Amino acid sequence: MAVPVKIMCILMLLLHKSSQQEVFNDGKTPNLPANYSVGWMKTLEDEKLISTITIPGTHESLALYGGPPAECQAWSLENQLMAGIRYFDLRVSGKNLKIKHGWIDQKTTFPDALETIRKFLSKYKTETVLVRVKPVDPELSKVPSLVENKIRNAKDIWVKKSVPRIGEVRGKIVFVQKESFKLGILLSETDKKGDYKVTNVKDKEEKIKKHLEEAANLCRTGSALSLSYSSGTSLGTYMLIRFLPNALAKQINPWLYDHLEKEFKKKPKPCFGIIAMDFPGIDLIQKVIKFHRLT
């Protein structure tokens, strides 16, 4: 039986609309709409714990150099901030606190990144930005004390272990950490060791789904700040260069958008804590941001 022309046109329109969603972007500049709301946190209630909202973040946030095996993002730190990203994953090395991805120098430092974030927050005072530092070789053992010396007494950086309410940290940086640091909020990562290695996209999707379910359970109580990754690579596996960060994100990001779209329709809406992504597009970032509206 032939499909009526009217129904076919509607289906084509829906498919066209779906294809227009910008869920992946590896251009150098984000395509911000004219009415884009940079300061999206202004609508959050001051009493809300930061562990009970869904926050768009990036994995290897400043891995902009080194070619397809090493690059996880395309936008500068400033552009990511303007696009709505509020969690940053900085891999820091050596006494000069250089930001690296593996052995590849990313042409900036931790102090430079702090300065950029501070400049942003001086303009958008309703926002808060979460920063994690992960020490990497060489001289990774020196990084924690050097970083702590720079942030310990800063009035605009939250370094307490307790989870703050939004009203306490507007216009401030919130330092989040794992076992390397004595300062900051403890992160609860849903990913297990080796989950970043990808040999099958469907398997990766199932892992992300499971991790987001774990994050939703943590987020419901607000007792811990959860972190889940949608990123990954096939480097170090038998698939070699089949799924480098860019190529994987092209497949994962549309799936993640659709998955979040389904979750968004639930009542009440869940929260997922931090979702760290590679090469997110504006519409994917906005889909994550919308989850802070829990009514």
pLDDT tens digits along 103-128: 999 999 999 999 999 999 999 999 99
pLDDT band at 295 (very low <50, low <70, confident <90, very high): very low
Architecture per CATH, domain 37-292, reads as Alpha-Beta Barrel (3.20)
pLDDT at 1 over 90: no
Whether omega for the bond prior to residue 268 falls within 30 degrees of 0, making it cis, is yes
Tens digits of residue pLDDT in 17-34: 445 799 999 999 999 998
CA distance 118 to 156: 8
- pLDDT band (50, 70, 90) for residue 139: confident
Distance, in Å, from the CA atom of 270 to the CA atom of 128, rounded to the nearest integer, reads 21
What is the percent of the chain with per-residue pLDDT over 70, rounded to a whole number? 93
CA separation for the pair 36, 282 (Å, rounded): 10
Burial of 92 (0-12, 13-18, 19+ CB in 10 A): buried
**Per-residue pLDDT tens over the stretch 49-63:** 999 999 999 999 999
For residues 149 and 25, what is the distance between their CA atoms, to the nearest angstrom? 36
The domain spans of the chain are 37-292
Q: How far is 248 from 198, CA to CA, in rounded Å?
A: 9
8 or 118, which is more confident: 118
Least confident of 8-22, 151-165, 280-294: 8-22
Tokens representing 53 are: 């909202």
The residue behind tokens 């310990």 is 152
| Model pLDDT, residue 17 | 46
- Entry pTM: 0.93
